[in-house]
């Protein structure tokens, strides 16, 4: 058998547990400790999977499935209630890979999917995964294929849950399994117009992973907005609003900063060109209606791809989700009074120079591992997030935070 190609990247990840009006006054130390412990545990288990060679897709699904089983978070078992006292869950997945990385995700033709209106499937993110990888290729348009799938990118219950999820053997739980007293009390207080005295995770949960082969995956799951109208669909299952992933190639004329389309090299062979291959993936959390109105996730990625000069993903995320960014501006004079525009975005950016330069040896020897750039920003009180960063001396450090400063 031919030798496996060398790894290109040092695996990394970031996950979030929701964003919103989170403040120290409503986040007592014992509750903070619970969130911190959960996020750290899920960060570590997902990091271990990536270190063992798991794909970004499998690792991201693992992380979000763990969050869906944790009643602290607004997804799965901890989902909020609609105005009618029911639960309607949503989840999504999207994959990409650094161009030229020969990653298996390149064979996933749909790239991204969303599922919505779910009531009893235990792990909405696992249902999203099945919808993503089952394409039904070779079958009639819109008809289930040999793998039970189709080319549809968005599917709503009851069919996707009561027919497809059961057909694919996914686990179901009864209504009472999803009931939590904290969320029910929150539901009742909301109906009475009362405020919250204790900060609870809002928005969504999500995870972005980069694997060693250059694959990126973003997984997102939510119970939606507290007391939303039944049937409301948010940003979480909507491509471009609550999540996005894409990759592209850039070419730069030597000595200049302007980025040219790759095809110019064929037309102008006399110019010295250098190439760069980029891939990005982001997951959002916060006021989903604002993410929908601004196509927030895709907007951030498009800024990074199409602006000249091309900003980093970190700069683009700040322009959309940071203080004074596009999300905040979308709320207009309602900012600060309705919850509109509030939110945050996490993501990872990965790059390869063209051609790939090896440290020593040939293509099956030792390659210098590249590092993905973990990014995040938010414009509200807090964003629960956990990630791995470089300590500055070559070692990786696990971080869990909710505010911009350390919790005291």
By annotation, the residues acting in catalysis are 204
Q: Is 373 assigned a ligand-binding role in the annotation?
A: no
d(CA 230, CA 328): 26
Was 235 annotated as part of a binding site? yes
Annotation-wise, does 220 bind a ligand?
no
Say if residue 379 carries a ligand binding annotation: no
Residue 120 marked as a ligand binder: no
Backbone φ and ψ of 25, nearest 5° = -65, -25
* 117 annotated binding-site participant: no
How far apart are alpha carbons 214 and 102 in whole angstroms?
8
Q: Is 22 labelled as part of a ligand binding site?
A: no
CB contact set of 9 (below 8 Å; sequence gap of 6+): 98, 210, 211, 212, 213, 214, 350, 369, 370, 371, 372
For the stretch 321-324, contacts whose Cβ atoms lie closer than 8 Å and that sit 24 or more positions apart, written own/partner, are: 321/284, 321/286, 321/296, 321/345, 321/377, 321/378, 321/379, 322/377, 322/378, 322/379, 323/379, 324/379
Instruction: Judge whether 299 is annotated as a binding position.
Output: no
Q: What b/e readout covers 218-235, taking b as 16+ CB neighbours within 10 angstroms?
A: bbbbbbbbbbbeeebbbb
Binding-site members for substrate are 232-235, 285-288
């Amino acid at each position: 058998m031919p030798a496996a190609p060398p790894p290109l990247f040092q695996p990394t990840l970031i996950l979030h547990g929701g964003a919103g009006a989170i403040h120290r006054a409503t986040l007592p130390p014992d509750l903070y400790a619970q969130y911190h412990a959960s996020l750290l545990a899920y960060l570590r288990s997902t990091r271990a999977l990536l270190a063992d060679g798991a794909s970004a897709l499998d690792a991201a699904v693992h992380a979000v499935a763990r969050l869906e089983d944790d009643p602290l978070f607004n997804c799965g078992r901890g989902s909020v209630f609609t105005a009618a006292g029911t639960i309607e869950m949503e989840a999504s997945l999207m994959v990409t890979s650094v161009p030229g990385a020969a990653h298996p995700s390149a064979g996933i033709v749909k790239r991204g999917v969303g599922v919505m209106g779910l009531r009893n499937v235990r792990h909405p993110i696992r249902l999203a995964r099945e919808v993503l990888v089952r394409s039904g290729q070779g079958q009639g348009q819109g008809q289930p294929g040999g793998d039970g799938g189709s080319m549809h990118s968005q599917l709503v219950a009851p069919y996707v849950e009561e027919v497809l999820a059961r057909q694919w053997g996914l686990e179901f739980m009864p209504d009472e399994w999803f009931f939590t007293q904290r969320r029910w009390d929150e539901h009742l207080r909301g109906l009475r117009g009362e405020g919250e005295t204790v900060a609870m995770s809002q928005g969504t949960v999500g995870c972005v992973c980069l694997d060693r082969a250059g694959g990126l995956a973003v997984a997102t799951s939510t119970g939606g907005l507290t007391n939303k109208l039944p049937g409301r669909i948010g940003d979480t299952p909507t491509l471009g609003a609550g999540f996005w992933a894409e990759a592209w190639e850039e070419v730069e004329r030597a000595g200049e900063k302007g980025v040219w389309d790759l095809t110019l090299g064929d037309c102008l062979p006399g110019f010295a060109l250098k190439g760069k291959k980029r891939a990005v993936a982001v997951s959002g959390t916060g006021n989903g209606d604002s993410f929908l109105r601004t196509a927030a996730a895709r907007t951030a990625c498009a800024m990074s791809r199409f602006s000249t000069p091309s900003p980093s993903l970190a700069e683009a995320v700040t322009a959309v989700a940071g203080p004074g960014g596009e999300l905040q501006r979308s709320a207009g004079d309602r900012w600060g009074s309705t919850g509109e525009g509030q939110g945050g975005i996490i993501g990872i950016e990965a790059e390869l120079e063209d051609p790939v330069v090896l440290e020593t040896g040939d293509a099956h020897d030792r390659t210098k591992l590249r590092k993905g750039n973990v990014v995040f920003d938010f414009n509200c009180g807090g964003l629960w997030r956990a990630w791995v960063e470089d300590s500055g001396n070559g070692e990786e450090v696990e971080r869990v935070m909710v505010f911009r400063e350390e919790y005291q």
